[in-house]
Amino acid sequence: MNKVFDKYSKEIIGTIDLESWESIMYKIETACERFNIYRHSIYSERAKFIQIIVDALIENKDHLSTMIAKEAGKPLFYAINELERCIRTAQLGVANFEILEVQNVNIDFSGTPHSKGTTKRFPIGVIFGIAPFNFPLNLALHKIIPALASGNCIIIKPSPYTPLSLTFLMNKINEKLPKGLVQMVNCSNELAEKIVLHETIKMISFTGSAAVGWHIKSLVPKKKVTLELGGNAAVFVDDKTDFTSIAEKVATGCFLYAGQICISTQRIYVHENIYENFKIALIESTSKITSGNPLENNVNSPLIDSIHLERMENWVEEATKKGATILIGGKVLDKERNVFAPTLLVNVNSSMKVYSEEVFGPIATLTKVKDYSTAISQINDSKYGLQVGIFTNDEKVISDCFEKIEVGGVIINNIPGFRKDEMPYGGIKESGFGREGIAYAMEDMTELKLLVR
């Protein structure tokens, strides 16, 4: 049995029974049986099933928001935002059925007996989705919705830190959905690996740490695998910008939800002409970040567990021993509740974990650069490549950053944490491959077949 705690109060707010392999096998078999029927479903039927999910989200929005705030330790306003995004995510499944329509292919058929080529996408089978703790509903739906929209069945595994909100939603929707269409498993990592390896699982969609993601990929090199693995996202602030308002935005991008977002701002590069003034503004903005109980809408909320609180302490200590300087923060605010102070470091380098690894906590680094070309070089000096934020009004800078920065997404005049659920979201290098975003996930969850007449 897995106990689930309120991440701030530490009260037990629920329990989840871990499943046996026999139970999981039954769910896999049920999903395979349902797929043989559902693969031939028409769009209106799929839309009806997705609408069941939309209705459940709308009817239980307040309850689910509060549940997420408690089990994930997420600021309540941000949990409410997640529910709004969940609804949009589900609706996007219906909005993108055209991806599955027959498409004409421009082929030169001269000298052949043929005259026309078309393609169509077909569902691949049973998909295994693994969702992270930080967006326990929306990132689960980024797997569930494209699977349903494209004619597949899916088995989803939530994080053991945050299984309650997804369990609640699954219980609601499975009162009305056909048996085997969408199922959830709560199980050990060992049994999750067995699911990954099972021959009837045709695709794995994983969101989480790089170490686990690449391990999964190594287990099944011949299967379709989508990995969204995070990184150490950077911003560059050019001169001739309104650095005061930018500093406020960057501070929020660093410390919202204690930095426990794949695209939280971690590395900040600032043009030397405005560096000192920007540093003052950033320290001031950081000092205004509130920390504590997520139900009171504090921006900087608890870390998911004590292991990561200790890691924050250790990484800051390592950095300072190697020459880094703490501008603000750098300490535990509440050890019992795993709250770490919003922290800014300068004089950092690639030998420090706070700079080179994914912090996934409320720690950011600040570096002065002489120009945007230097910023590009330093941003690319990373094993990760998810998203980057560029603050500039110079079209040449925008063009060069888009062409040269090695990431999956370049966000202009905003933090790298900007995301809409329509976007093709994902990274390169150790940040993974494949794309979330409903339309793009639907493509990944289907096989393209050619017909020549």
Q: Which residue has the tokens 């030169």?
A: 108
The residue segments making up the domain with residue 142 are 2-229+431-452
Q: Which residue among the candidates 71, 228, 358, 443 is catalytic per the annotation?
A: 228
Residues 171 and 312 in one domain: no
| pTM of the entire predicted model | 0.96
Domain annotation covers residue 426: no
The CATH number assigned to the domain holding 392 equals: 3.40.309.10
Q: Is 225 left (phi over 0), alpha (psi -120 to 50) or beta?
A: beta
Residues 202 and 256 in one domain: no
Q: Which of 178, 243, 187 is nearest to 37 (CA)?
A: 178
The CATH number assigned to the domain holding 40 equals: 3.40.605.10
Report how far residue 34's alpha carbon sits from residue 5's, in angstroms, rounded to the nearest whole number. 35
Residues 38 and 129 in one domain: yes
Residue 179 tokens read as 């048996």
pLDDT of residue 1: 80
Q: Are 89 and 310 contacting, i.e. CB atoms less than 8 angstroms apart? A: no
Domain annotation covers residue 48: yes
Q: Which residue has the tokens 């989840």?
A: 16
Report how far residue 277's alpha carbon sits from residue 29's, in angstroms, rounded to the nearest whole number. 62
Residues 111 and 150 in one domain: yes
Q: Which residue among the candidates 86, 187, 254, 262 is catalytic per the annotation?
A: 262
pLDDT of residue 110: 96
Q: Are 266 and 358 contacting, i.e. CB atoms less than 8 angstroms apart? A: yes
- How do 182-184 and 201-207 pair as beta strands? unpaired
Q: Coil, strand or helix: which one is 323? A: coil
Report how far residue 246's alpha carbon sits from residue 391's, in angstroms, rounded to the nearest whole number. 8
Mean pLDDT in order along the chain per 10 residues (453 residues): 94 96 98 98 98 98 98 98 98 97 96 97 98 98 98 98 98 98 97 98 97 96 96 96 94 98 98 98 98 98 98 98 98 98 98 98 98 98 98 97 98 98 97 96 98 97
Residues 18 and 121 in one domain: yes
Q: How many domains does one find in the chain? A: 2
Q: Which of 27, 95, 86 is nearest to 58 (CA)?
A: 86
pLDDT of residue 29: 98
Annotated catalytic, 401? Answer: no
Annotated catalytic, 358? Answer: no
Residues 155 and 287 in one domain: no
